[in-house]
Structure 1
Amino acid sequence: MNRDLQTDIANVFSRMELNRRHMMVSGLAAAGFALAVQPIGAATVITDTRGIDTSDVKIKVGEETLLGYRAMPAKGGPFPVVLVVQEIFGVHEHIKDICRRFAKAGYYAIAPELYFRQGDVSKLKSIDQILPIVAQVPDAQVMADLDATVNFAQESGKGDVAKLGITGFCWGGRIVWLYAEHSQQLKAGAAWYGRLVGNVTENQPKHPVNIAADLNAPVLGLYGGKDQGIPLDTVEQMRTALKKAKVDAEIVVYPNAPHAFLADYRPSYVEADARDAWQKMLAWFNQYGVA
């Protein structure tokens, strides 16, 4: 890792520490988080907007409008682009904060609302209410919406899509693998605890293990050894499948981490592993031209 990148990583985490708040679970403190993730934990990171520009955005997809959130440095550009793919809970405050963290590190980060046709999950109070909506979201629709988001970033004049990366979490982690097979523009991806195998459905005809040999961009997988939803045997299946990949791919497993170990607003957060994985992601992007 070069010295400049080490400095960037150190600065990002220094800012994250400076902006950590011990949040009370009431009123304003919980604003912006999906109802299904309440109460919000005391370790929640809030990244400020000093030196960066943030806004809600409207992305045209044919005759439809895809909403999203964008963060980038306040001055300069164009900047390397990172697509930030939501958790199952949608583009709530944690995903927006991820965008701000990328902006502090010099990226144009954008998170599109990828369920908008099927429903607003932010107002739902339980995972049992959310899952039926998410099951209706076709992978092909998601790929097209991400392509439209890339076009939006390029047309803004502030995003350098020749330096295009993608990262995603939980539901979005699976999407990272799929987009790395779909896109010819993508330079690198980082998939955080995304499901690797599953049943074939009309909306989900393939899973990461099925397309591992066809990846068009290097992907770093970041997984927890104690993730009860993603058994380690499926991680090993993916590692085996990746041996046939024509690009670099790597899976890192943190032995004592559960699912969602980066999610600082939840009890699953493991700070040491989250820090290390974030560093590995930035180094991966730097190595493969997303910097």
Structure 2
Amino acid sequence: MCYDDNARPPLPPVDGGSAHGEDIVLTAADGTRFAAYSAYPDKPLGAQVIIYPDVRGLHQFYKELALRFAETGIQAVAIDYFGRTAGLTARDDSFEYMPHVQQLHLETFFSDVKAAQEYLHSSQGGNAPTFAVGFCLGGTLSMLSGTQDLGFTGLVGFYAGMSRNMDGQGTLLDRAGEIKYPVLGLFGGSDQGIPNDQVQALDQKLADTGIEHEIISYPGAPHSFFDRRSTEFAEASTDAWNRVLRFITAHSNRQA
């Protein structure tokens, strides 16, 4: 598990504007209704993010992260994974997520992503450049989204696990050569679940394909270092925020 109910995203290292957010329900092409949280900047800058949570699905950390993005001028929608198996129930610490993770399939997940994209495209942001930003399981899914024709401008993955073989289609390392969009990968150098040799292998596989990418590993930082409570890793969190915002700005400007 990445974040418990008391975790909160670090504040962005920029002067934030005002924003507002709300719980919403989206509907996938197969009729599945799933929970999401949408955050709107009062002064949009012309970029959008879809936030992929960790294994627990859409809980408070990611709702607040959506608001933090919106305060920087980036419209955000954070999505839940488990509409098909757990409905619209709460994702607090009492939620037994693993049985639902085991029933998660890429095909239906990508259908949910498309529903989130359609929502963003019909909102104030229109067809602005859109980025996937994921954490843990969501980091893996963010990069796997890059193997599909989903029209993303870029992919951001925090602590993307590389050993999960979803639907028997291969691990992230197996499929890294299929990624079509620029990648920013952020890892903890002391993350026991993601060895440094795997991080280096991902970097090399992306280099071999020629896809634009930046892979950053923060020495001494653990899994889930990006947490306001982790004051000893505040410098890494600030750097990670800066890199994410620069990545989004740079690639949005190219598409403009």
- Residue 51 of structure 1: how far off its partner (Å): 2.1
- Counterparts of residues 115-126 of structure 1 (less than 5 Å): 115-119=82-86, 120=89, 122-125=91-94
- Residue 285 of structure 1: how far off its partner (Å): 1.2
- Residue 121 of structure 1: how far off its partner (Å): 6.7
CA–CA distance in structure 2, aligned partners of residues 52 and 223 of structure 1 = 29
1:178 aligns with 2:144: yes
- Residue 159 of structure 1: how far off its partner (Å): 2.2
CA offsets 1:132-154 (integer angstroms, 9 cap, x no match): 22121112211111111101111
CA–CA distance in structure 2, aligned partners of residues 122 and 183 of structure 1 = 30
CA offsets 1:114-164 (integer angstroms, 9 cap, x no match): 1221225725548xx4222212111221111111110111122x1233411
Structure with higher RCO (Cα < 8 A, 6+ apart): 2
Q: Which one of the candidate residues 1, 21, 25 is aligned to 1:54? A: 21
- Residue 78 of structure 1: how far off its partner (Å): 8.1
Q: Residue type matched to 2:199 in 1? A: V
CA–CA distance in structure 2, aligned partners of residues 57 and 229 of structure 1 = 33
Q: Residue type matched to 1:185 in 2? A: G
Corresponding residue for residue 183 of structure 2: 219
CA–CA distance in structure 2, aligned partners of residues 264 and 181 of structure 1 = 32
CA–CA distance in structure 1, aligned partners of residues 91 and 232 of structure 2 = 21
CA–CA distance in structure 2, aligned partners of residues 204 and 249 of structure 1 = 26
Residues 67 and 279 (structure 1), Cα distance of their counterparts in 2 relative to 1, 3 Å cut? same
Q: Secondary structure at the match of 2:175?
A: helix
Residues 256 and 192 (structure 1), Cα distance of their counterparts in 2 relative to 1, 3 Å cut? same
1:236 aligns with 2:204: no
1:155 aligns with 2:122: yes
Q: Percent identity?
A: 24
1:195 aligns with 2:158: no
1:64 aligns with 2:32: yes
CA–CA distance in structure 2, aligned partners of residues 275 and 112 of structure 1 = 24
1:257 aligns with 2:224: no
- Counterparts of residues 15-94 of structure 1 (less than 5 Å): 37=4, 40=6, 51-62=18-29, 63-74=31-42, 79-94=46-61
CA–CA distance in structure 2, aligned partners of residues 172 and 269 of structure 1 = 24
Residues 269 and 99 (structure 1), Cα distance of their counterparts in 2 relative to 1, 3 Å cut? farther
Q: Secondary structure at the match of 2:187?
A: strand
Residues 245 and 121 (structure 1), Cα distance of their counterparts in 2 relative to 1, 3 Å cut? farther
Residues 274 and 227 (structure 1), Cα distance of their counterparts in 2 relative to 1, 3 Å cut? same
Corresponding residue for residue 289 of structure 1: 252
What TM-score do you get using the length of structure 1 for normalisation?
0.76
CA–CA distance in structure 2, aligned partners of residues 188 and 257 of structure 1 = 24
Q: Residue type matched to 1:171 in 2? A: L
Q: Residue type matched to 2:250 in 1? A: Q
Q: Which runs of 5+ in 2 are unaligned?
A: none
The answer (yes or no) to whether the contact 2:10–2:237 under 8 Å persists in 1 is: no
The answer (yes or no) to whether the contact 1:167–1:173 under 8 Å persists in 2 is: yes
Q: Larger Rg: 1 or 2?
A: 1
Residues 170 and 269 (structure 1), Cα distance of their counterparts in 2 relative to 1, 3 Å cut? farther
The answer (yes or no) to whether the contact 2:11–2:68 under 8 Å persists in 1 is: no
CA–CA distance in structure 1, aligned partners of residues 9 and 188 of structure 2 = 20
Q: Between Structure 1 and Structure 2, how many residues are aligned?
A: 247
The answer (yes or no) to whether the contact 2:152–2:181 under 8 Å persists in 1 is: yes
Q: Secondary structure at the match of 2:152?
A: coil
CA–CA distance in structure 2, aligned partners of residues 153 and 172 of structure 1 = 19
Q: Which one of the candidate residues 166, 174, 194 is aligned to 2:132? A: 166
Q: Residue type matched to 1:195 in 2? A: G
Residues 103 and 44 (structure 1), Cα distance of their counterparts in 2 relative to 1, 3 Å cut? closer
CA–CA distance in structure 2, aligned partners of residues 269 and 116 of structure 1 = 36
Residues 212 and 268 (structure 1), Cα distance of their counterparts in 2 relative to 1, 3 Å cut? farther
What TM-score do you get using the length of structure 2 for normalisation?
0.86
CA–CA distance in structure 1, aligned partners of residues 11 and 184 of structure 2 = 25
1:105 aligns with 2:105: no
CA–CA distance in structure 2, aligned partners of residues 150 and 248 of structure 1 = 23
Q: Which one of the candidate residues 220, 227, 233 is aligned to 1:270? A: 233
CA–CA distance in structure 2, aligned partners of residues 258 and 268 of structure 1 = 13
CA offsets 1:251-279 (integer angstroms, 9 cap, x no match): 100011000011335x5972110110110
Corresponding residue for residue 102 of structure 2: 135
